[in-house]
Structure 1
Amino acid sequence: METYTLMRHFADSWGLVAMMVFFLGVVAFIFRPGAKKAADQAAFIPLKED
């Protein structure tokens, strides 16, 4: 099997699964309990004076 064909089959199957797992992990990380406080602190970083 050619390298391109092998990589194409991998991307069509397991690559999609890996990207979906990563996306769901990021969404779960953002909406976890206690994330609002950290997000609010990060949002005000540019507004703080030295």
Structure 2
Amino acid sequence: MNESYTAVAGFAQTWGLIYFVVIFAIVVAYVLWPKNRKQFDDAAQIPFRED
């Protein structure tokens, strides 16, 4: 039983790290994509608006 837990834990740690790094890279690419700049610039100015 202990060997199977160790194997599953090792698998989850390795592939979980890869999964989260890939998701992080996708989010960063989305945020830095030139087409999305105006949307994020508008969102950054929301606290300064006096509507």
Paired residues, number:
47
SS of alignment partner, residue 34 of structure 1: helix
Q: Which residue in 1 is equivalent to 2:43?
A: 42
Q: % of aligned pairs identical?
A: 43
Separation in 2, partners of 1:9, 1:32 = 35
Q: Residue by residue, what CA displacement relative to the aligned partner does 1:1-50 show, whole Å, maximum 9, x if unpaired?
A: 23xx32x2133221011011111101110121222211110111011123
Give the unaligned 5+ runs of structure 1.
none
* Match status 1:25 vs 2:39: no
TM-score (norm 1): 0.71
More helix by share: 2
Give the unaligned 5+ runs of structure 2.
none
Kindly provide the amino acid, as one letter, of the partner of residue 34 in structure 1.
Answer: K
The runs of at least 4 aligned residues of structure 1 exceeding 3 Å deviation read none
TM-score (norm 2): 0.70
